[in-house]
């Protein structure tokens, strides 16, 4: 059976209809779409310079010269895309197996019917698997961002194989995305690892109490899901991380913060964020603690992902462009249709590209990370009555 030249267009039209139906049914929903900004990129890679703002402005007395203030180019950050969703399906075998079903009155192929069948089966499958693939890739930014030596997933040269792109497994400042105090991020202007006035929010950043809290430009803790740990991480995020590359204090632009968690911990985090009062520590105690995250001025939005490692969790600003998901600018048709003349077989293939760029580590802080890209975070602990009480000494 042969297919006419109109078949590819019939197939694309039916596939487009299937895509719309999946979107309306929220089958292509990706939780990261609501919290990470996107950018279109021409070609396969992009770069950007962080701008080092001018220093603080000062007053001037009459007769004094006006001091020159220059903005300079800071760190160079790279992002790249690559083919991350690819596959093909042979049509001839399907036609042969189901020839009666798709046989037209004149003896040829009922192409509209066959195109609809392929869209409902092959196209639907590819679109669903692409969403799953891209969702898992985005989760890897968080799952592998805590590897302190860096990880090849962040190597943009490996992603695009272009010599113009840096060949390194860390982000733009040669540090991991989520850095513990020993790998604190340096500012560009002075290579400082803490801002003026920054201070520790506790004694240790890890539940095992082996890593001292130094304050400053780190953005990873190793604390279990708990009310007290969330307060500590949010405090550090606001007071110690929000500086520019010139070590000048910044204000958080977002009216709300994101709490990104694994679905394994969804019940506990929901109770922590949504309960107006925290359980008393002593049985029979009538004194409840009012939940600070239910007070006016604190807006925390819980975002759940089944692809985030259990017991890991992250606080960040939504759509802050600290982490960008890259998409190809050129609107290429992801579907290709051809006939292999060697055996006169028909095929369709599907390919789509994905990539990312880390622009500013300051927009996300990890409450608990995977340090090897495979293991879970710090294990859950304690009864509900102790979620608000930090261990002694930590």
- Residue 191 CA to residue 219 CA, distance in Å, equals 16
Tokens of 168: 């390194």
Has residue 279 been placed in a domain? yes
Query: How does strand 345-358 pair with strand 323-328?
Result: antiparallel
How sure is the predictor about 106, in pLDDT bands with cuts at 50, 70 and 90? confident
Has residue 66 been placed in a domain? no
Has residue 71 been placed in a domain? no
Q: pLDDT per residue over 55-75, tens digit each?
A: 666 777 777 777 766 666 789
Tokens of 215: 């304050």
Tell me the backbone φ, ψ of residue 328, rounded to 5 degrees. -65, 135
Q: What is the dihedral of CA 7, 9, 10, 16, to 10 degrees?
A: 140
Tell me the backbone φ, ψ of residue 89, rounded to 5 degrees. -135, 135
Has residue 55 been placed in a domain? no
Greatest CA span in the chain, whole angstroms? 96
Has residue 87 been placed in a domain? yes
Has residue 57 been placed in a domain? no
- Residue 140 CA to residue 128 CA, distance in Å, equals 19
What count of Cα atoms within 13 Å lies in the side-chain half-sphere of residue 182?
A: 9
Has residue 31 been placed in a domain? no
Has residue 67 been placed in a domain? no
- Residue 394 CA to residue 208 CA, distance in Å, equals 9
In this predicted structure, which of 240-249, 274-283, 312-321 has the lowest mean pLDDT? Answer: 274-283
Tell me if residue 72 falls in helix, strand or coil.
strand
Q: Tally the domains of the chain.
A: 1
What Rg do the C-alpha atoms of the chain give, in angstroms? 26
Q: What pTM does this model have?
A: 0.88
Tokens of 257: 């913060």
How sure is the predictor about 6, in pLDDT bands with cuts at 50, 70 and 90? confident
């Amino acid at each position: 059976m042969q297919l006419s030249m109109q078949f590819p267009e019939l197939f694309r039209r039916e596939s487009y209809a299937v895509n719309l139906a999946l979107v309306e049914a929220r089958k292509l929903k990706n939780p990261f779409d609501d919290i990470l900004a996107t950018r279109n990129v021409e070609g396969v890679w992009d770069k950007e310079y962080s701008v080092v703002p001018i220093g603080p402005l000062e007053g001037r007395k009459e007769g004094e010269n006006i001091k020159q203030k220059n903005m300079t180019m800071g760190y160079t950050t790279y992002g790249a895309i690559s083919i991350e969703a690819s596959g093909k399906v042979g049509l001839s075998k399907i036609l042969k197996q189901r020839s009666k079903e798709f046989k037209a009155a004149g003896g040829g192929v009922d192409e509209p019917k066959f195109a609809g069948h392929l869209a409902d089966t092959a196209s639907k499958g590819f679109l669903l698997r692409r969403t799953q693939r891209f969702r898992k890739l985005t989760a890897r930014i968080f799952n592998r961002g805590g590897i302190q030596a860096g990880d090849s997933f962040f190597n943009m040269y490996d992603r695009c194989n272009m010599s113009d792109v840096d060949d390194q497994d860390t982000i733009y400042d040669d540090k991991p995305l989520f850095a513990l105090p020993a790998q604190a991020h340096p500012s560009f202007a002075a290579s400082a690892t803490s801002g003026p006035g920054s201070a520790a929010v506790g004694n240790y950043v890890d539940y095992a109490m082996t890593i001292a809290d130094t304050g400053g430009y780190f953005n990873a803790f190793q604390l279990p899901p708990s009310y007290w740990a969330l307060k500590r991480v949010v405090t550090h995020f606001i007071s110690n991380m929000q500086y520019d590359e010139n070590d000048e204090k910044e204000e958080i632009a977002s009216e709300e913060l994101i709490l990104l968690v694994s679905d394994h911990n969804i019940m506990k985090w929901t109770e922590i964020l949504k309960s107006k009062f925290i359980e008393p520590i002593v049985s029979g105690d009538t004194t409840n603690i009012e939940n600070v995250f239910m007070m006016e001025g604190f807006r925390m939005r819980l975002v759940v992902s089944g692809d985030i490692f259990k017991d890991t969790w992250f606080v960040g600003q939504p759509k802050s462009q600290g982490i960008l998901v890259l998409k190809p600018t050129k609107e290429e048709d992801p579907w290709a249709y051809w006939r292999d003349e060697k055996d006169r077989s028909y095929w369709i293939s599907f390919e789509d590209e994905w990539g990312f760029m880390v622009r500013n580590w300051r927009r996300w802080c990890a409450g608990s990370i995977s340090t090897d890209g495979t293991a879970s975070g710090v294990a859950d602990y304690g009864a509900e009555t102790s979620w608000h009480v930090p261990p002694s000494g930590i």
